[in-house]
Amino acid sequence: MSTAPQMMDVSLGQKNRRVGLVAALVVAGMVGLAYASVPLYQLFCQVTGFGGTTQVSEAAPGAAPGASAREVRFNGHVVPGLDWKFSPPAKPVEIRPGEEVRVVYTATNLSDKPTTGTSSFNVTPNKIGPYFMKIDCFCFVEQTLEPGQTVEMPVLFYLDPEIDEDINTRATPEITLSYTFFPVNTNGG
């Protein structure tokens, strides 16, 4: 009679180990997906323009003849934990599709120690993202500022002339380009 309970204990122990292993694999998979989700989402947004993500280009084609002008406004934000003042260009710009525009944001480190930040961006309305072409910008690049240091951060962009051919975007007179700076932990932990 003592062999039957021992077999049940062995069988139960094997089942517990199997459940534990499956649970550990699920947790490991979830952690892996959490780390992979940011770059995969960023890639998806850059390819599709989803969520107002802009596109990347080498050069502007030049203003399209007869193209309607759009007004581009600028926003700049800093999340808590990064003691910076981040200022967008003060005035909006008028831009015609195909026309290259350069604007300058400024950032100042208000703390008494060097700090590092990185920025993300978006364009609103979101439907403009696929037509907003960045040639050069400071996004996704770690920026380290010394105490009290102020730097200029240029952005070079244009609107794809196809914006006027899309029925969903041709009547959009105002666009907003927003950047948000986040702190970067440079201590390794």
Amino acid, single-letter form, for residue 19: V
Is it the case that residue 73 has pLDDT exceeding 70? yes
Name which residue leads in pLDDT, 165 or 71.
71
Query: So what's the pLDDT on residue 139?
Result: 82
Lowest mean pLDDT among 47-56, 103-112, 123-132, 179-188: 47-56
Query: So what's the pLDDT on residue 105?
Result: 96
Query: So what's the pLDDT on residue 137?
Result: 86
* pTM flag (> 0.85): no
Cα-to-chain-centroid distance, residue 179: 9
Tokens representing 161 are 């002339």
Provide the β-strand partners of residue 84.
109
| 146-159 core/surface letters (b: 16 or more CB in 10 A; e: else) | eeeeeeebebbbbb
